[in-house]
Amino acid sequence: MSTNTCAQGGTARWMSPELINPQGFGLENSRPTKHSDCYALGMVIFETISGYPPFYQHTNQPTIFMKVIAGEHPPREAGFTDDLWKMLERCWASQPTDRPSIEDVLLRLEGVSDSSEPPSPVMDEEMEEDRRETNDSHGMFFLLHSL
C-alpha cells in the first residue's frame, strides 16, 4: 500500500469495507459496485457538510483501514440533522446489501434539503475563520518560498 491509496486503487477514507477486505465479505477481489459507490457517496456527503474529510482525526492509512473494516464511521459533526445522519449511517452499513440505492439517497437528500434549516451563523463564522487561517498559511508559505 502506498501512503494515499490501496494497492487495488482507491482512497481509504472513502473506501467501503468490502473494497479493503474483499475476502472478509466472501469476495475474490475488490471491485467497485453500486453498493461501494453508495458508501463513498455517504463519505462525500459527510465531507461536504462537515468541511472535513472522513476520519480527519487520523493520518495513518492502516488506522483508517482498520476503522472501516471494524464498521466504524466518522463522528457526527455540527450541521447534520437527525434524518440526514440516519441516511449517512445507512450508506455506511457494514453489509453492502444493507445500503440504499443511489436513487434512494438522492430522494432522501431532496427531502432533507426541503426540511432542513440553514446553517447557524456560528457555524458560518467558524468555517470563515478556518478559511482565513488556511489562506493566511498558504500566503505565508508562498511568501517564504518566494524570498
Q: Rounded mean pLDDT of 61-73?
A: 93
The residue among 38 and 78 whose pLDDT is bigger is 38
CA 22, CA 29: separation in Å to the nearest integer? Answer: 6
- What pLDDT is attached to residue 6? 42
What is the DSSP code string of 93-113? -SSGGGSPPHHHHHHHHHHHH
Q: Rounded mean pLDDT of 124-132?
A: 53
- What pLDDT is attached to residue 130? 52
Q: Rounded mean pLDDT of 95-121?
A: 79
- What pLDDT is attached to residue 12? 87
Residue 136 has pLDDT above 70, yes or no: no
Q: Does domain 12-116 have CATH number 1.10.510.10?
A: yes
Residues 69-78: tens digit of each pLDDT = 999 999 998 8
- What pLDDT is attached to residue 83? 92
- Is residue 8 exposed (0-12), middle (13-18) or buried (19+ Cβ within 10 Å)? middle
Q: What is the CA radius of gyration of the chain?
A: 18
Q: Rounded mean pLDDT of 105-121?
A: 70
Model confidence band, residue 141 (pLDDT cutoffs 50, 70, 90): very low
- What pLDDT is attached to residue 66? 94
Model confidence band, residue 116 (pLDDT cutoffs 50, 70, 90): low
Model confidence band, residue 50 (pLDDT cutoffs 50, 70, 90): very high
Q: Rounded mean pLDDT of 116-145?
A: 48
Element (H, E) at 120: none
